[in-house]
Amino acid sequence: MTNKWLKSICSLAAAVLIALPAAQAQTVTGNITGTVTDSSGAVVSNAHVVAHNVGTGVDSPATTNDTGFYRIQFLPAGQYQVTVSAPGFNTETVPAFALEVLQAPTINVKLQVGSSSTTVDVSGSSPILNTSDPTLSATFTANTITNFPLNGLDFSAVTLYVPGAVSTAGTGGTTSIERSTPTSLIRST
């Protein structure tokens, strides 16, 4: 019997140690991807793409590959402006947009033939929609949580408004039931 308990404890400890890096590896960044083409639809390789964080002023550069594809990863959430330039083409600037945690918008840019000293500001852009990942998610800022009418519920009740969320607390009551200590475990002195 003791050997069985020892194996169970070792298995549990191994499972915890294996799951620990995954729990710590939760990402708090977003990515920007896209393809750069010319006016005829041909890909533009070696184009210089810069994601500029409007709030911090930090630039994150990338270069398109042979298929005109670029990916800028590990961007903190914030307002970003994307600028694309290549020799022999006008510089294109995509207006600032909000990048949220775990968001990966695809921003495709068409460059017009011209001088690289000419800058074209794109005034309209398509909405950010990730068609390659069916994951449902949402981000609540501290301001949202502070101003959300919780009506006596625990702060974690806000998570029930995320698409795809499921309540495990039953049909009513507060969500703190899951974390509360059962009265049978409380000792009276």
| pLDDT per position as a tens digit, 103-124 | 889 999 999 988 655 555 565 5
The more confidently predicted of residues 1 and 189 is 1
CA–CA distances in Å: residue 91 to residues 84, 115, 116, 122, 134: 6, 8, 6, 10, 33
At residue 70, the pLDDT reads: 97
- Per-residue model confidence as pLDDT tens digits over 144-176: 767 777 676 666 666 766 666 776 655 555 544
Model confidence pTM above 0.75: no
The alpha-carbon radius of gyration of the chain (Å, integer) is: 25
Which residues neighbour 98 within 8 Å (Cβ) at sequence distance 6 or greater?
Answer: 77, 78, 79, 80
Domains of the chain: 29-121 (2.60.40.1120), 142-184 (no CATH)
